[in-house]
Amino acid sequence: MDRRILDAFRAVLSSSGLITEASELKTYECDGLTNFRVVPAAVLLPESSEQVQAVVRICHQHKIPFVARGSGTGLSGGALPVANGVVLSLARMSRTLEVDIPNQRVTVEPGAINAFITQQVAPYGYFYAPDPSSQQVCSIGGNVAENSGGAHCLKYGFTTTHVLGMDVVLPDGELVHLGSSTLDSPGYDLAGVFVGSEGTLGVATRIILRIVKRPEVITTLLAAFNSTNEAGEAVSDVIASGVLPAAIEMMDNLAIQAAEASVHAGYPNCGGLLLVELDGTATEVETLMHQVNDICTRRGAWEIRLAHSEAERIVVWKGRKAAFAAMGRISPNYIVQDGVVPRTALPQIMNEIARLSRESGLRVANVFHAGDGNLHPLVLYDRRITGQEHLAEQVAGDILRLCIKAGGSITGEHGVGEEKKMFMGEMFAEPDLDTMQLVRCAFDPEHLANPGKVFPRLRLCAEKTGPYTPHPLELAGVAEFF
Amino acid sequence: MAGISTRSRPIPWNELERIASTAEAAEADAICGRVPKFIVEPSTAEQVAAVLRWANENSVALAARGNGTKPGWGAAPRELDVVVSMRKMNRVIEHAWGDMTTTVEPGCTVADLQRTLAEHGQRLAVEPLFGGHATIGGIVAANDNGPSRVRFGSLRDLIIGVTLALPDGTLARSGGKVVKNVAGYDLPKLATGSLGTLGIITQAIFRLHPLPQTERTLTFQFETIAAANQAALALLDSVLTFTGLQLRSSGPSLCTLDVRFEGIENAVEDQARRAGRMVGNLLPAEAGQWQSSTALWDESPGSICRFSVLPSEIAPFLDRAQSLAEPLAVRTRAVVQAVGVGLLRLDGPTDALLRTIRELRQLAAVRHGSVVVLHASGELRSQLDPWGEVGTALGTMRRMKQQFDPKGILNPGRFVGGI
């Protein structure tokens, strides 16, 4: 990178905010998806909104692509650097700016850690609802980029439900405010569009979050079934009965074995394990939990445990939360997938995944959010065996195709990023993708923000925009536009 | 926006008739006082796309309409040639009750959709204005939600997929049929509240909720709005799981707070008992509280604003409205959801209304709130931007409009900032 440009960055950030040393840059070459690696030209560590704005202006002036990055826990290569581009690490912007308990809002900088939000508001009886499994380390800025989910999104919604407003530095360096701390602000819902845009529309530098009152009672039921099909039928019955659980999670035998080997969760050794969490008032949870218990028994559950206290719940959840990392105990390498199917298609998709596993000779462990049909198949393989990585990628890809065929999605919460952009063309038709990119053209016509991600190919944006016609009220001097 | 007034050749109206059934418009078809020339009623998404392509090529200004329950919302369009009525596209295409989703055409009324969903014990958890008559396309375009948002979120949280017809004739799908889906940009949210200025919705997909076994509403009375606001904040801060929490006030004294619980019998009773102990001053049971927003439209004329403030600012806002209105002989009535979104009806002379609304806008803006005029006389409308100030994102909004509708044929000038 041109020395003069680096000097310009240094002038904004001082030397401590600029990384150019090759060995240090390597830290940033990938995110949680480690099979894609690119070393960036520089890493910038701004400490304020103004600094983000200043460095983005420099990028814009010199047409340098930039990739914003939080904690780097993403699983789709969304924070993969661009060669000759810079990485904008928001790690130093992690302050809490405001806690407003009566209005149930918390304002943070993008580098703030997800779990820390809950820690701060817990004394007042509140929590921050989106709970990706990486919540102990992942940042809110990253959650915003990916529209992160988590087990409890079934009832509480995804990151987008909990982001009310944001300060965003646009790719040309302009600072704008999207959304508001109040609801329904006039105009297009640009905050809704920005959340989940995977860093391609700009950089959020201040985020207003909604927090949720902690329910009076939370109870988790663990049920052991002979197969995931039986467990799946229990899920259908629970949903049909009109109960909306806070979470419904399922694991198959291979996933249980891995969790046992890793964190000794004490799960029963069964073919299909179900976790159903209910929350609400004591009376409500008690009554509904009886119903869920009866449904599970009727559907063949041979062991049921109830976790009431926080300590008991932590034990029950331990194996599930550790499931991805636990795969390392039973396989040298694995690919995590993130497909979604309509919930009723789960049994069929499970059979198909089993078939793919048989045909390829690769083991596939299954962990999923059964309530909303979000699958996390883990394709296990050994990189040292020639051809196995390629085969595993094929199996993972075929699973996504099955999800598309079933009317689902290629990603429920991990994002498209670098990894799945080629599948976008299988899920959507060309006009669909072209239309989405109109949004990109409105925010980032020069494709400087995280270029090359999400979409299989770029749509060129019309450079010149038409003249602005003033509103008659404006001409009459009645209204002013700001 | 490129002006469509640059139109150079006569409009080939006969071509429009060949695309879909077309009729001459009447006074009653006016949108914000502007009467269109024709009404076209497409029956399929492809016909909608063809109408748009034709209009775009001929620089014809369009406005989509469902059942016409909100014809006065937004600013008056700069031009209006054709109203695209979506009433023929009124099917519930699918109710996947096992998946708790539904796919529906925009012209379907909310009441018809709810009836279909109820067959399998489900509902779309919104309670828009003019409940029975409003269409799905209309409530999405206007982002009209209602009391249940306190528990189930608003339309932006419930819509999971949308098909949009764009001015160039493209039919673009985004989102999908699954509740959890982060593939691509979230165009369903972009469409929500865009008042038909980016495209015409030809299909929408929603996540659903179960119908409750039972429900119960309690109404409490307070001597001041501040006391009602305090009680609402206390309930928001409680572990009770109400599905509606609403303040109603008319005039300076007396204010009521409605709280609704839904679910299984014993749990609803238990919660109602606890709320009763927390709040006090319980009024005898009455009916129709949750339609009181719609009831603000019963008398005409008058002006109705949608305001948005922080939950803790409801009382300061309404108190200020009251203190401004009283000396100006303006009568006020308000129905406010405790999450901070409310409707304020003002009756009085135009000058006084203008002054009141301007002052309230300033007050709301201090803590990032807004006041949007939904319903007003032509006289008031001509002297006030119904949207008010939009803030720093307006430039990006204009660029969005420019990308989707470069010739500005869709509801030109009806949206914020002259979009």
Co-location of B8 and B42 in the same domain:
yes
Interface of A with B in 140-199 (CB under 8 A): 146-147, 149, 153, 157-158, 160-161, 165, 170, 174-178, 180-190, 192-193, 195-197
Co-location of B11 and B23 in the same domain:
yes
Neighbours of A61 (CB within 10 A): 12
Domain limit, last residue, from B242, B262, B287: B287
Contacts of A79 (CB under 8 A, 6+ apart): A31, A67, A68, A69, A70, A72, A87, A142, A199
- pLDDT of B127 higher than 50: yes
Contacts of A187 in chain B (CB under 8 A): 387, 390-391, 393-394, 397, 415-417
Domain that holds residue B175: 92-210
Cα–Cα distance for residue pair A143/A87, rounded to 1 Å: 17
- pLDDT of B225 higher than 60: yes
A104·B311 Cβ contact <8 A? yes
Specify if B384 maps to a domain: no
pLDDT digits (tens, 9 = 90+) for B33-51: 999 999 999 999 999 999 9
Mean pLDDT of A100-124: 98
Lowest mean pLDDT among A90-99, A253-262, A315-324: A315-324
DSSP A245: -
pLDDT digits (tens, 9 = 90+) for A300-349: 999 999 998 989 898 889 888 888 888 989 999 999 999 999 999 998 99
DSSP A84: T
Contacts of A101 (CB under 8 A, 6+ apart): A121, A124, A126, B237
Contacts of B266 in chain A (CB under 8 A): 283, 287
Q: What is the CATH number of the domain that holds B270?
A: 3.30.70.3450
- pLDDT of B128 higher than 50: yes
- Mapping DSSP onto H, E and C, the string for A109-153 reads CCCCEHHHHHHHHHHHCEECCCCCCCCCCCEHHHHHHHCCCCCCH
Separation of CA B56 from chain center: 27
The reported pLDDT for the residue numbered B6 is 57
Cα–Cα distance for residue pair A301/A230, rounded to 1 Å: 8
Please name every residue paired with A168 in a beta bridge, in sequence order, or none if there are none. A176, A204
Co-location of B238 and B201 in the same domain:
no
Co-location of B73 and B96 in the same domain:
no
Q: Quote the pTM value.
A: 0.95
Co-location of B123 and B69 in the same domain:
no
Co-location of B105 and B176 in the same domain:
yes
pLDDT digits (tens, 9 = 90+) for B143-201: 999 999 999 999 999 999 999 999 999 999 999 999 999 999 999 999 999 999 999 99
What are the counts of helices (DSSP H) followed by strands (DSSP E) for chain A? 18, 18
Cis previous bond, B301, omega within 30: yes
Q: Provide the token pair at A270.
A: 């069964």
Cα–Cα distance for residue pair B306/B321, rounded to 1 Å: 13
Specify if B383 maps to a domain: no
Co-location of B134 and B98 in the same domain:
yes
- pLDDT of A469 higher than 50: no
DSSP B8: -
DSSP A447: -
The reported pLDDT for the residue numbered A482 is 37
Question: Greater confidence, B72 or A462?
Answer: B72
Contacts of A236 in chain B (CB under 8 A): 98
Separation of CA B117 from chain center: 21
Specify if B164 maps to a domain: yes
Chain mean pLDDT for chain B: 94
CB A179 within 8 A of CB A143: no
Contacts of B263 in chain A (CB under 8 A): 284
Domain limit, last residue, from B87, B108, B138: B87
pLDDT digits (tens, 9 = 90+) for B356-395: 999 999 999 999 999 999 999 889 989 999 999 999 999 9
Using 50, 70 and 90 to split pLDDT, how confident is the model at A1? confident
Taking the alpha carbons of A460, A464, A468, A469 in that order, is the dihedral positive or negative?
negative
The reported pLDDT for the residue numbered A467 is 42
CB A65 within 8 A of CB A451: yes
DSSP A368: E
The structural domain count of chain B equals: 3
Q: What is the CATH number of the domain that holds B12?
A: 3.30.43.10
Top mean pLDDT of A298-312, A446-460, B105-119 is at B105-119
B416·A438 Cβ contact <8 A? no
The string of DSSP codes covering B324-356 is: HHGGGT-EEEEEEETTTEEEEEEES-HHHHHHH
Specify if B371 maps to a domain: no
Residue indicated by tokens 């083991």: A363
A183·B339 Cβ contact <8 A? yes
Q: Provide the token pair at B317.
A: 């806002």
- pLDDT of A471 higher than 80: no
Cα–Cα distance for residue pair B318/A363, rounded to 1 Å: 63
- pLDDT of A105 higher than 50: yes
DSSP A387: T
Q: Provide the token pair at A471.
A: 């509103």
- pLDDT of A481 higher than 50: no
Mean pLDDT of B322-348: 95
Question: Greater confidence, B72 or A92?
Answer: A92
Chain A contact present for B388, CB below 8 A? yes
Q: Is A72 helix (H, G, I), strand (E, B) or coil?
A: coil
Q: What is the CATH number of the domain that holds B155?
A: 3.30.465.10
- Which residue type sits at B260? R
Cα–Cα distance for residue pair B161/A209, rounded to 1 Å: 24
Contacts of B390 in chain A (CB under 8 A): 186-187, 481-482
Cα–Cα distance for residue pair B227/A158, rounded to 1 Å: 34
Co-location of B196 and B138 in the same domain:
yes
Cα–Cα distance for residue pair B138/A366, rounded to 1 Å: 42
Q: Are strands A96-100 and A105-108 parallel, antiparallel or unpaired?
A: antiparallel
Backbone phi, psi, residue B303, to 5°: -130, 135
How far, in Å, are B77, B80, B303, B361 from residue B381 at the CA level? Answer: 12, 17, 10, 16
Chain A contact present for B239, CB below 8 A? yes
Mean pLDDT of A101-106: 98
Cα–Cα distance for residue pair A87/A40, rounded to 1 Å: 7
Q: Are strands B214-222 and B255-263 parallel, antiparallel or unpaired?
A: antiparallel
- pLDDT of A473 higher than 60: no
Q: Which of A184, A343, A454 to mutate to test the interface with B (most CBs of B within 10 A)?
A: A184
Cα–Cα distance for residue pair B324/B371, rounded to 1 Å: 15
B210·A472 Cβ contact <8 A? no
Cα–Cα distance for residue pair A146/A139, rounded to 1 Å: 11
CB B312 within 8 A of CB B231: no
The reported pLDDT for the residue numbered A474 is 46
B174·A102 Cβ contact <8 A? no
CB A454 within 8 A of CB A200: yes
Contacts of A428 in chain B (CB under 8 A): 173-174, 183-184
Please name every residue paired with A163 in a beta bridge, in sequence order, or none if there are none. A209
Q: Is B59 helix (H, G, I), strand (E, B) or coil?
A: coil
Co-location of B126 and B199 in the same domain:
yes
Nearest to B399 by CA among A201, A237, A341, A424: A201
- pLDDT of A358 higher than 90: yes
Taking the alpha carbons of A454, A458, A462, A463 in that order, is the dihedral positive or negative?
positive
Specify if B20 maps to a domain: yes
Nearest chain A Cα to B163, which residue?
A: A432
Nearest to B147 by CA among B322, B291, B326: B291
Co-location of B132 and B206 in the same domain:
yes
Mean pLDDT of A134-141: 95
- pLDDT of A111 higher than 70: yes
Contacts of A424 in chain B (CB under 8 A): 183-184
Specify if B153 maps to a domain: yes
How far, in Å, are A232, A242, A267, B192 from residue A276 at the CA level? Answer: 12, 14, 14, 33
The reported pLDDT for the residue numbered B140 is 98
The reported pLDDT for the residue numbered B250 is 87
Separation of CA A452 from chain center: 19
DSSP B251: S
Burial class (CB in 10 A: 0-12, 13-18, 19+), A291: middle
Nearest chain A Cα to B192, which residue?
A: A189
Specify if B99 maps to a domain: yes
**A454 → closest Cβ in B78, B184, B402:** B184
Co-location of B133 and B175 in the same domain:
yes
Angle (CA) A221 A285 A246, round 5°: 65
How far, in Å, are B164, B172, B206, B322 from residue B203 at the CA level? Answer: 7, 10, 10, 43
Nearest chain B Cα to A472, which residue?
A: B78
Chain A contact present for B78, CB below 8 A? yes
Share of chain A above pLDDT 70, in %: 96
**B183 → closest Cβ in A185, A373, A410:** A410
Domain limit, last residue, from B167, B191, B210: B210
Using 50, 70 and 90 to split pLDDT, how confident is the model at A459? confident
**B266 → closest Cβ in A287, A340, A373:** A287
A429·B173 Cβ contact <8 A? yes
The reported pLDDT for the residue numbered B7 is 61
Chain B contact present for A425, CB below 8 A? no
Chain A contact present for B234, CB below 8 A? no
Q: Which helix (H) or strand (E) holds B294?
A: helix B292-295
B394·A281 Cβ contact <8 A? no
Co-location of B129 and B181 in the same domain:
yes
* Domains of chain A in sequence order: 3-89 (3.30.43.10), 96-213 (3.30.465.10), 216-325 (3.30.70.2190), 331-431 (3.30.70.2740)
Q: Are strands B62-65 and B82-85 parallel, antiparallel or unpaired?
A: parallel
Specify if B58 maps to a domain: yes
Question: Greater confidence, B302 or B311?
Answer: B311
- Looking at chain B, how many residues does it have? 419
Contacts of A152 (CB under 8 A, 6+ apart): A129, A130, A131, A246, A247, A277
